[in-house]
Amino acid sequence: MRKRIALASIAALAGAALLAGCSSSGSSSSGSSTGGYDKNATIQIGSIYEPQNLDNTAGGGQGVTEALNGNVYEGLFKLGDDGKVTPLLATSYTTSSDGLTYTFKLRKGVTFHSGNELTSQDVKYSLEKVLAPNSQSARKSDLEVVKSVATPDDDTVEITLSQRSISFVYELSYVWIIDHTATDLKTSEDGTGPYKLASWKQGSALTLTRFADYWGTPATNQQVVFDYYKDATAENNALLSGQLDLVTGEQSPDALSQFTGNSSYKVNNGNSTTKLLLAFNDKAKPFDNTAVRVAITEAIDRPALLKSIWGHYGKVTGSMVPPTDPWYEDLSSVYPYDPTKAKKALADAGYPNGFSFTLDTPNYDPHPAAAQFIKEQLSKIGVTVKINTITPDQWYTKVYQNHDFTATMQEHVNDRDVEWYGNPDFYWGYDNPKVTQLINDAEQSSTTAQQTEKLKQANEQIVKDAASDWLYLYPQIVVAKKTVTGYPVNGLNSQFYAYDIKKQA
């Protein structure tokens, strides 16, 4: 197994490569604080996801979600670390009997960082910004059910949908409410969150300071600095040398041994929503044949792959649905590892001597290592894998836009993204009318129980069809100094609420 060799030698040099036990908790927050905390503390957070810009409707990337979502900007609703949606800038809402009109009451006494008061105008502006023709929001297509936004008074927003959408309120948790008079949103901000942006030094750090006029409970620290690294080793060194208080997401288990054996640090093993996929082109030979996809799935030992890349971290879930989605089920045993059965199935499908295919593999971790593993495993059932390494840019053009591939690997970071299997035009070309119907019906549900039931059915069918091979769910590993508590441990869509972080006085 080829592992990340780069600079892992530091760990060897340190000579402390002991794999000690590490704390494992799925709870929403890290351990409780003992004694007092410093209300004026500065929390230094290390991350490798620098925002590309500060606007989440202009291609800010996942870094902008991490740094600003919930910290600087707030939505009408909030998606908690546990995956639950609760009201935030909205205090309550009612739905018309046909499920098409939502009336939201806004929280009173909320001010933007500029000092302007929150009104229904801002909500209208913010929603329209997401829906604008030039919007790069990842939620745009989900929110296109919005037909009109009315503002009967300053505290009321009335949104009419073109069709029922049970996940509408959830989607609203991704719509940042921005002051409608704000400008330069790529480089500055005007939100309502517990922090305001103090500075962004591109390539280096982004600093947030506590907003004095925040409507809610003030942040338990004065300042949060996101320090950005391109190199995970440099980031870990900064944590070891005391420059950082915590690191938001360790990317390689190799480095963890430096912290698991060290009583000054806590290694948190949380749930992410990032899945590693072996995505077949379900419209291209030979993967247009379900039996072939099933055989490939059975021929790859997913737990062994996960172990080789992440040690004892992470999880094999066997589907696109992560545990924080309400319709999660463990489907990892639908097609367990069985190379003998796989080889026979392949023969039955007309490939007694196997076949050969090209695997378009993004050039960054963990894809190359995982591709190598898959290649070795599939060679045992007579299937030859040609690994074609491509850049993220090439992936978007070749695979995502042109569908010019046989199979590819990709990490999918979002929660609740099983719905993409209901879109026959999506890059993987999975087209099962029954699933499309179930996913559309789920969206039309009048209760979440109904929605959950339908999406479970859909997901079971998608897994049965082996639409893709969901190799594993990434772990979310936050490593922090023991003196720091209150940070989120589950990385839902890479958000990172910093306002409850406490540093020992």
Partner 1 sequence: MTAYVFRRLGLLLVSLLVAAVVIFVLLRMLPGDPANALVAVGATKEQIAAARHAVGSDQPLPAQFVTWIGQLARLDLGTSFVSGLPVGPQLVQRLVVTVPLTLLGFVLAVLIAAPVGFVAARFSRSAVGIVFSAASQLGVAVPVFWVGILLVWGFALHWHLLPAGGFPQEDWSAPGQALRSLTLPVITIAIVMSSSVARYVRAGCIEILGSDFIRTFRALGSSFGSAMLRHGMKSVAVPVISVLGIELATTFLGAVVIENVFALPGLGSLLVTGIAQHDYPTIQGVLLLTTLIVLIVGFLADLTQRLIDPRLRGAHR
> Which of positions 152-191 make contact with partner 1 (CB under 8 A)?
184, 186-187
Report d(CA 6, CA 325) in Å as an integer. 35
| Candidates 148-156, 248-256, 338-346, 406-414; binding stretch for partner 1 (CB under 8 A) | 406-414
Judged by phi (left if over 0) then psi (alpha if -120 to 50, else beta), residue 297 lies in alpha
In the list 135, 273, 408, 494, the residue contacting partner 1 (rule: CB under 8 A) is: 135
- CB of 27: closest distance to partner 1 in angstroms? 29
15 part of the interface to partner 1, by CB under 8 A: no
> For the residues of 105-153, what is the DSSP string, one character each?
EEPTT-B-TTSPBP-HHHHHHHHHHHHSTT---TTHHHHTTEEEEEEEE
412 part of the interface to partner 1, by CB under 8 A: yes
| Token pair in block for residue 447 | 């209760």
272 part of the interface to partner 1, by CB under 8 A: no
Quote the DSSP letter at residue 32. P
3-state DSSP call for residue 485?
Answer: strand
Question: Among residues 184 and 330, whose Cβ is nearest to partner 1?
Answer: 184
Answer whether 1's CB lies under 8 Å from 372's CB.
Answer: yes
> Binding-site residue total for partner 1 (CB under 8 A)?
55
134 part of the interface to partner 1, by CB under 8 A: yes
Measured in degrees and rounded to the nearest 5, phi and psi for residue 271 equal -95, 135
Answer whether 29's CB lies under 8 Å from 275's CB.
Answer: no
379 part of the interface to partner 1, by CB under 8 A: no
In the list 391, 402, 437, 446, the residue contacting partner 1 (rule: CB under 8 A) is: 391
Report d(CA 113, CA 194) in Å as an integer. 9
Question: Among residues 275 and 502, whose Cβ is nearest to partner 1?
Answer: 275
262 part of the interface to partner 1, by CB under 8 A: no
| Candidates 69-77, 318-326, 373-381, 412-420; binding stretch for partner 1 (CB under 8 A) | 412-420
Q: Is 160 exposed, middle or buried (0-12, 13-18, 19+ CB in 10 A)?
A: middle
402 part of the interface to partner 1, by CB under 8 A: no
- CB of 183: closest distance to partner 1 in angstroms? 12
Q: Say which residue the tokens 């606007």 belong to.
A: 55
- CB of 493: closest distance to partner 1 in angstroms? 11
Where do contacts with partner 1 occur on this chain (CB under 8 A)? 7, 9-10, 13-14, 52-53, 55, 58-59, 61, 133-136, 138, 140-141, 184, 186-187, 199, 201-205, 207, 225, 227, 229-231, 234-235, 237-238, 240-243, 391-394, 396-397, 400-401, 410, 412-414, 417, 420
